[in-house]
């Protein structure tokens, strides 16, 4: 019996480990001076709406990370669950928004990557953020993820990412949703834990690792955690809890909340490079293309003449929301 071919994303994760992931999307977009009424449709901080109103700017952020050396992008869909979009009056626009997000990522990859330098696009699905989500049934949580995953898969992504997991109960439902909505695509998970490895709502690294292994998740990662703690203490613990590929894209800050400059960020993550199962590394909240470029330099993959701006981000529109 012929074994099915390994998905291109998984083949690259194994052959080129670690692949370089992008950085923050939301803060990059919020710093761009968009008009609240015209571009955000009056929905302050809703960066996912920009997939429809300013797709060229979403693509430009993707390209800034590719220019810095990233070869794995996340769609601008972190806060695009069906209930959340419905709550904001965007239910009829949901599929168009998801398709536009995938198109922005795909067009960026087509412009920058090729057969000898492949790039990949992950469908980014964040935790439930709509009102009443904490009381939602497991069936409702599963259905929301399944609908979003199916649409993003149909639009043309290479893998599905459940990002910033804060609750093991949601993870269990979301994993069922992924398998129901897009069973043929690789599933990846990243968890946001504190310095003790605890999820903000319910669970810890060990419960996440167990659920991910039982569901056949292809890669388990840490994100949003302070960089030094994630690289030194938590990544080994994650590896003990999960037998497969590992990933790391922490916040660009330290335990005190102070932002790390790109060189300090890369230095904080350097110990993680000794982990043989580390397959994907990048950046999360507060990061810029310069942080990804610093990681590319650590890996010996910095593009020639790549010099992303080191200028600090300006404050964006008020009411910004969680971002990957």
Domain residue extents for the chain: 8-298
| pLDDT at residue number 42 | 61
Q: Among 1-10, 89-98, 157-166, 253-262, which is the least confidently predicted range? A: 1-10
pLDDT value of position 144: 97
Binned at pLDDT 50, 70 and 90, residue 281 comes out as very high
Token code pair at residue 156: 């043309």
**Residue 242 scores a pLDDT above 80:** yes
Between 62 and 307, residue with greater pLDDT: 62
pLDDT of residue 305: 62
216-227 pLDDT tens trace? 999 999 999 989
Query: Spelled out in words, what is the top-level CATH class assigned to the domain 8-298?
Result: alpha beta
Rounded CA-CA distance 79/73 in Å is 16
Who wins on pLDDT, 210 or 311?
210
Please choose, from the candidates 121, 114, 112, 109, the residue with its C-alpha nearest in 3D space to the C-alpha of residue 156.
121
High-pLDDT (> 70) share of the chain, %: 90
Q: Is the pLDDT score of 321 beyond 80?
A: no
Q: Is pLDDT larger for residue 45 or for residue 102?
A: 102
Give me the pLDDT at residue 36, please: 61
Average pLDDT over the chain, rounded to whole?
A: 90
Instruction: State pLDDT tens for residues 156-169.
Output: 999 999 999 999 99
Is the model's pLDDT at 313 over the cut of 70?
no
Average pLDDT over residues 52-68: 96
pLDDT at 80 > cutoff 80: yes
Is pLDDT at 200 greater than 80 in this prediction? Answer: yes
What is the mean pLDDT of the segment spanning 82-89?
Answer: 92
- Once rounded to an integer, what is the mean pLDDT over residues 44-72? 93
């Amino acid at each position: 019996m012929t074994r099915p071919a390994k998905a291109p994303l998984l083949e690259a994760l194994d052959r080129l480990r670690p692949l370089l992931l992008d950085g923050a999307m939301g803060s990059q977009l919020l710093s761009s001076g968009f008009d609240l009424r015209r571009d955000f449709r009056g929905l302050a901080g809703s960066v996912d709406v920009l997939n429809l109103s300013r797709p060229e700017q979403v693509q430009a952020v993707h390209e800034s990370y590719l220019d810095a050396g990233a070869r794995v992008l996340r769609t601008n869909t972190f806060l695009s669950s069906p209930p959340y979009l419905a709550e904001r009056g965007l239910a009829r626009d949901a599929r168009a928004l998801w398709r536009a997000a995938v198109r922005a990522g795909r067009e960026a990859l087509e412009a920058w990557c090729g057969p000898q330098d492949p790039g990949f696009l992950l469908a980014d699905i964040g935790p439930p953020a709509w009102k009443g989500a904490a009381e939602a049934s497991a069936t409702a949580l599963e259905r929301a993820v399944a609908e979003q995953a199916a649409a993003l898969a149909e639009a043309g992504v290479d893998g599905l990412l459940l990002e910033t997991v804060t609750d093991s109960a949601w993870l269990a439902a979301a994993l069922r949703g992924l398998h129901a909505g897009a069973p043929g695509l690789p599933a990846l998970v990243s968890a946001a834990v504190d310095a003790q490895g605890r999820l903000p709502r319910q669970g810890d690294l060990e419960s996440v690792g167990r659920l991910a292994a039982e569901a056949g998740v292809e890669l388990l990662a840490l994100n949003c955690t302070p960089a030094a703690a994630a690289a030194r203490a938590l990544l080994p613990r994650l590896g003990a809890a999960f037998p497969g590929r590992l990933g790391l894209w922490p916040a660009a800050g330290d335990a005190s909340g102070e932002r790390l400059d790109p060189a300090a960020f890369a230095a904080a993550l350097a110990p993680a490079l000794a982990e043989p199962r580390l397959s994907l590394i990048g950046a999360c909240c507060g990061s810029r293309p310069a942080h990804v470029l610093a990681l590319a330099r650590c890996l010996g993959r910095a593009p020639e003449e790549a010099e992303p701006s080191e200028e600090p981000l300006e404050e964006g529109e008020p009411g910004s929301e969680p971002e990957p």
